[in-house]
């Protein structure tokens, strides 16, 4: 068994395995849910910016649904997978979602699958929200979701989970640090080594997610210029609470 235990940027080393690890995720349903908020924009939604697009699964579904989509992610390895999936036509940009600058505004901006929990300070979140505001046309909608503090503390918690995804094995070791509402995920993938049949390649990554009170997120959105902010229990139209695991925000 080979071991490689250095810790590069999150999502760089697991990128080739990400889609298999996430194969249970109901992306089609998720994207339909997000699209159900597009009529909340003033005017038609045609151009969509998919922030933290990762390997581009939601991006692809949106393209199939007829939207013109641009994807942004800071992980070049995730974008490499996305490029294979999406072909040459869809613009994909390697950039930090807090800092990218396009000479263009969109009808809708999305940031899905708790990507914003990867921002570890309120300052970083504010930078992200302000940058989204700059890239959203007047009346456009911003839709994103977060893991709640409750989810990080009680669902991720302090735990070790082992999962199988076909011939891949993953280990999820989570530690919750209540003082700063930070969850540490030590993530390991064992994947069959194509160069050495019968052996597995080991890949380790460290992922950190911070939980934010819903009220704080709303305040930061208001400060960034979003006047109307709605919070829903994920995949529903029920008003969100701190006890939900995932909350979807719709802001304009
Ligand atoms: C859980 S994945 C979600 C990918 C995709 N949205 C999906 O639904 O499958 C989180 C993504 O956020 C990206 N990411 C995290 N922080 C980022 C940042 N500051 N700027 C751009 N991308 C970021 C990671 O590289 C990763 O691809």
Q: What is the pLDDT of residues 52-99, one digit of tens each?
A: 999 999 999 999 999 999 999 999 999 999 999 999 999 999 999 999
The CB of 127 under 6 Å from ligand 1? The reply is no
The CB of 211 under 6 Å from ligand 1? The reply is no
- Other Cβ atoms closer than 10 A to 188: 16
Whole-prediction pTM? 0.95
Distance from Cα 113 to the centre of ligand 1, integer Å:
8
Residue 85: the pLDDT is: 98
Residue 132: the pLDDT is: 98
The CB of 128 under 6 Å from ligand 1? The reply is no
- Which of ligand 1's atoms lies nearest the C-alpha of 110? 6
The CB of 174 under 6 Å from ligand 1? The reply is no
Distance from Cα 121 to the centre of ligand 1, integer Å:
16
**Bridge partners of 87?**
none
Dump pLDDT digits (tens) for 128-182: 999 999 999 999 999 999 999 999 999 999 999 999 999 999 999 999 999 999 9
Distance from Cα 71 to the centre of ligand 1, integer Å:
10
Residue 195: pLDDT band (50, 70, 90) is very high
Distance CA 37, CA 203 (A): 38
Distance from Cα 170 to the centre of ligand 1, integer Å:
19
77 three-class SS: helix
Q: Residue 43: is its pLDDT beyond 50?
A: yes
CB 140 within 8 A of CB 107: yes
Distance from Cα 132 to the centre of ligand 1, integer Å:
15
Q: Residue 205: is its pLDDT beyond 50?
A: yes
Domains of the chain: 15-147+212-251 (3.40.50.150), 150-210 (2.20.25.110)
User: Widest CA span of the chain, in angstroms?
Assistant: 57
229 three-class SS: strand
CA atoms within 13 A on the CB side of 172: 13
């Amino acid at each position: 068994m080979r071991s490689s235990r250095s810790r590069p940027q999150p999502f760089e080393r697991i990128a080739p395995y990400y889609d298999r690890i996430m194969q249970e995720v109901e992306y089609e349903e998720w994207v339909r849910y997000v699209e159900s908020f597009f009529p909340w924009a003033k005017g038609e939604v045609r151009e969509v910016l998919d922030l933290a697009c990762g390997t581009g699964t939601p991006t692809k579904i949106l393209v199939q649904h007829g939207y013109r989509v641009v994807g942004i992610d800071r992980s070049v390895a995730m974008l490499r997978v996305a490029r294979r999936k999406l072909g040459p036509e869809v613009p994909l940009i390697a950039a930090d979602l807090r800092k990218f600058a396009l000479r263009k505004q969109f009808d809708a901006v999305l940031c899905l699958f708790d990507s914003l929990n990867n921002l570890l300070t309120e300052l970083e979140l504010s930078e992200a929200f302000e940058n989204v505001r700059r890239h959203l046309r007047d009346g456009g909608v911003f839709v994103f979701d977060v893991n709640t503090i409750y989810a990080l503390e009680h669902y991720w918690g302090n735990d070790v989970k082992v999962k199988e995804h076909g011939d891949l094995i993953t280990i999820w070791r989570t530690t919750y640090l209540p003082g700063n509402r930070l969850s540490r995920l030590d993530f390991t993938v064992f994947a069959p080594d194509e160069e050495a049949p019968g052996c597995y390649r080991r890949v380790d990554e460290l992922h950190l997610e911070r939980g934010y009170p819903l009220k704080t997120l709303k305040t930061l959105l208001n400060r960034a210029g979003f006047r109307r902010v709605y919070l829903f229990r994920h995949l529903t139209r029920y008003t969100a609470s701190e006890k939900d695991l995932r909350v979807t925000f719709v802001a304009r």
